[in-house]
Structure 1
Amino acid sequence: MPFRDHWRDVKTLHNDGIPIDATSNETAKLFDATLTQYVGWYNDKQFGGIKASLSRLLASDPNCVSSRILAAAIGLFSMSRPSALAHAQVVETLGDTATS
């Protein structure tokens, strides 16, 4: 099965029904690459795998809520760990909205 080698920009994601809040096409493409790897259950060597993609995504736009939600979802569903630890990591990933 061939993997994708092109990634959707902000406009294309919106047109496809994915309302990402990023304004940067770089962030949108990293979001698409990370989401595609997660859903497709593979690591894309072009990006260094899903962990590297996610790190680059979060660094590209630290204020992008869609990216934080994706990171939290990947964190919740990717590893088995005590629920209290998972909850703490989700809160950390999403950020402290009380101080933002």
Structure 2
Amino acid sequence: LALNVYSDETSKLFDSALRQLISWFDCEQIGGILGTIEKMNKSEPDFLLGKTLKLGLDTLSSGRSKRSDPTFEQELADLVKDANLRGNERERKHAYAVQLFADSEMHRACNEWEDILVEYPNDLMALKFAHTGYFYIGEHLAMRDSIARVIDKWDKERYPGYR
């Protein structure tokens, strides 16, 4: 998938962070998932999907909330504003979905991620965030169905690590 990113390093760090997230494995060689995300966002602070990944994980992990962290609300608002100003449609949808989830609009957030997957079935972040969102709202059938809708679009020759 195309990334609006300037450096190859940032792109590789983004991919590494997603792979660590999916595999539930901290690669200590690059600082684990949190260290990888920190390096990624330092290497290119304006990388929209990098900021979206970080804020999405903050939201989905229940690590931060608007109620307990006043800066979080502003970070989310800035993310959506930046995405609307300079992001492509996929980036805008990701940013909006993270904001919806943070606003306790979990079903709507999952719908946004599903919309992304209709057009971009290989969007690993959308797939993981939708899956996690469905887990939190107790939608076990939606967890299964979300993956079932895209599994035929994955190809082990094209996507290393996929079996």
Bin of the TM-score, shorter chain as denominator length: 0.5 to 0.7
RMSD between aligned alpha carbons? 2.8
Q: Name the TM-score, length of structure 1 as normaliser.
A: 0.66
Please tell me whether residue 69 in structure 1 is matched to residue 52 in structure 2.
yes
Please tell me whether residue 33 in structure 1 is matched to residue 33 in structure 2.
no
Gaps of 5+ in 1: 1-17
Gaps of 5+ in 2: 86-163
1:83 Cα offset (Å): 5.4
Q: Name the TM-score, length of structure 2 as normaliser.
A: 0.43
Deviation string, structure 1 residues 34-84 (Cα, Å, up to 9, x no partner): 111111111011111111111001000011111111111111112355553
Equivalent residue number for residue 3 of structure 1: none
**Residues 81, 26 of structure 1: CA spacing in aligned structure 2 closer, same or farther, 3 A cutoff?**
closer
Q: Aligned partners of 2:68 and 2:39: how far apart in 1?
A: 24
1:91 Cα offset (Å): 3.8
Q: Which structure has more helix as a fraction of its residues?
A: 2
Residue pair 1:69, 1:94 contacting (<8 A) in 2 also: no
* Higher RCO (C-alpha 8 Å, min separation 6): 1
**Residues 41, 73 of structure 1: CA spacing in aligned structure 2 closer, same or farther, 3 A cutoff?**
same
Higher Rg of the two aligned structures:
2
Q: What number of residue pairs does the alignment pair up?
A: 82
Give the counterpart letter for 2:57 in structure 1: I
1:95 Cα offset (Å): 3.1
**Residues 80, 48 of structure 1: CA spacing in aligned structure 2 closer, same or farther, 3 A cutoff?**
closer
Identity of aligned residues (%): 24
